[in-house]
Amino acid sequence: MEWCFSMPKVELHAHLNGSIRDSTLLELTKSLGERGVINFSQVEHIIMKYNRSVKEVFQLFDLIRIVTTDHATVTRITREVIEDFASENVVYLELRTTPKRNDAIGMTKSSYVEAVLKGLRSVTSVDVDFIPHGEEEEEHSRTFLLNTPPTGCEDTNNYCRKRIYVRLLLSIDRRETTEAAMETVKLALQMRPFGVVGIDLSGNPLLGDWNTYLPALKFAREQGLYITLHCGEIPNAKEIHQMLDFKPQRIGHAICFEDQHWEILKSSKIPVEICLTSNIRTMTVRSIDVHHFDHLYKAKHPVVLCTDDFGAFSTTLSNEYNIAANAFELGKKELFELSRNAVELIFAERRVKEDLRKYFNSVAKIWE
Ligand SMILES: CNc1ncnc2c1ncn2[C@@H]1O[C@H](COP(=O)(O)O)[C@@H](O)[C@H]1O
Ligand SMILES: [Zn+2]
């Protein structure tokens, strides 16, 4: 486990609000309970439950949504999530979140994203790079990670601060209308100078219809935003087909695939974000030994290990690496290569990719 923790890692599938710390969720829920906004005893069991069906997971997300949707809390959670990932040696994080509107508190999708950016700026315990680099800033982006301290560095001076790149994806929720989805895409375009690199489609897979989001997703692609889709979380052969035909840059999960889908996936080489604990806990995969990671990995299909919602599923990225190591008999070297290969799947600009490549090269010897 220790080496899974110290290994440099790349996280490409993490939902902001699903990554809320347990302690923060409990604190916020209790405080809302005390203020009479919610009845704590009625929701306690949703928070405390360990294995949740897909339906129950989305009940938890609905609760989290009530508890977290104000500007100050969004800012706080963003800061904590970045600190948590950086502390376990994640050097590149693509964080996704659904911009929310709440008229009652004057929240617009835009002010929601501003609150996220405020969170990014408010991190003080680690160095965060989230503003994309212009061509002229060559020097900075060439050395940002190369100056990262060795793991275990105890010195308290600046040299020992962890460093992390963060880029953002804005999520379209499957409950949204075409217009709301389009608003999110337009917001993502506006927020590009602040590190928004793409669009995600997520939310309860039991709801919504592909054709509702398609116009917004097409527009996003025309405008040069990257796209990743939650695909195949439940059996829905037609939608899986439509999603693969759309050829997103990545997909998440790829669980309920039939032979025809595997064929298209493999020939189109669309990378898959794999979330082991999430799939087991939501019982969408029966057990780890039948998880499709094994088959994709052995077929040399591009895959990346991710957490999905480390708060909701009580995991960490290091833990996901550890689970993969044990379940699929992968050693340090294989997992390092898996992490290094994920660099090729990121949505950030060329300079970030180059810095990450150099950084992984510079530490590769340790993991051989
Ligand atoms: C279990 N697998 C999953 N499948 C689909 N959507 C998921 C998800 N896990 C999380 N989300 C989506 O992300 C939201 C929380 O983060 P944000 O409020 O956006 O930051 C959830 O409400 C859901 O819409
Ligand atoms: Zn997800």
Q: Is 62 contained in some domain?
A: no
pTM of the model: 0.95
Q: Is 29 contained in some domain?
A: no
Q: Is 109 contained in some domain?
A: yes
Place of tokens 């709301």: 180
CA of 174, closest atom in ligand 1:
24
> How far is residue 226 from each of residues 214, 221, 257, measured CA to CA in Å?
14, 7, 23
Q: How remote is the C-alpha of 134 from its chain's centroid?
A: 25
pLDDT of residue 256: 97
Place of tokens 């020939």: 267
Distance CA 230, CA 255 (A): 10
Half-sphere exposure of residue 173, counting CA atoms within 13 Å on the CB side? 15
* Ligand number, closest to the Cα atom of 74: 1
Q: Is 207 contained in some domain?
A: yes
Distance CA 34, CA 12 (A): 37
Phi, psi of 289 (to 5 degrees): -70, -10
Instruction: For residue 233, indicate whether it is catalytic.
Output: yes
Q: Is 52 contained in some domain?
A: no
Range of the domain at 129: 2-21+74-367
Tell me the average confidence (pLDDT) per consecutive run of 10 residues in the chain, 368 residues long: 93 97 90 88 80 83 90 98 97 98 95 98 95 69 69 62 96 98 98 98 97 98 98 97 98 97 98 97 93 98 97 94 98 97 97 95 92
* Ligand number, closest to the Cα atom of 17: 1
* Among 63, 21, 11, residue whose Cα is nearest residue 38: 63
| Residue among 171, 207, 320 whose CB has most ligand 1 atoms within 8 A, to mutate | 171
Inter-residue contact 216 to 99 (CB < 8 Å)? no
* Ligand number, closest to the Cα atom of 169: 1
Q: Separation of 55 CA from ligand 2 center, angstroms?
A: 14
For residue 355, the SS3 value is: helix
* Among 249, 293, 211, residue whose Cα is nearest residue 94: 249
What ipTM does this complex have?
0.99
The DSSP annotation for 24-73 comes to: HHHHHHHHHHHTTSS-HHHHHHHHH-SS--HHHHHHHHHHHHHHH-SHHH
Total number of domains constituting the chain: 1
Q: How remote is the C-alpha of 113 from its chain's centroid?
A: 16
Lining residues, ligand 1, CB within 6 Å: 15-18, 57, 61, 97-98, 171, 173, 202-203, 230, 233, 278, 282, 308-309
* Among 205, 227, 230, 231, residue whose Cα is nearest residue 218: 227
Q: Separation of 191 CA from ligand 1 center, angstroms?
A: 21
DSSP state of 290: G
pLDDT of residue 84: 97
Q: Separation of 222 CA from ligand 2 center, angstroms?
A: 24
Q: Separation of 19 CA from ligand 1 center, angstroms?
A: 10
Continuous H helices in the chain: 2-6, 22-34, 40-48, 54-68, 71-87, 109-121, 138-143, 178-190, 210-222, 237-246, 259-268, 276-281, 293-298, 317-327, 332-342, 350-363
Handedness of CA 341, 347, 353, 355 (dihedral sign): negative
* Among 10, 8, 103, residue whose Cα is nearest residue 307: 10
Half-sphere exposure of residue 331, counting CA atoms within 13 Å on the CB side? 4
Residue owning the nearest CA to atom 18 of ligand 1: 17
Which CATH number do you get for residue 214? 3.20.20.140
| Residue among 65, 66, 98 whose CB has most ligand 1 atoms within 8 A, to mutate | 98
Q: Is 226 contained in some domain?
A: yes
> How far is residue 311 from each of residues 25, 31, 181, 276, measured CA to CA in Å?
9, 19, 26, 14
> How far is residue 96 from each of residues 30, 237, 344, 358, 361, measured CA to CA in Å?
26, 26, 19, 26, 27
Residue owning the nearest CA to atom 23 of ligand 1: 203
Selected catalytic residue, list 233, 239, 273, 320: 233
Q: Is 50 contained in some domain?
A: no
pLDDT of residue 136: 61
Q: Is 206 contained in some domain?
A: yes
Q: Which two tokens stand for residue 240?
A: 């899986």
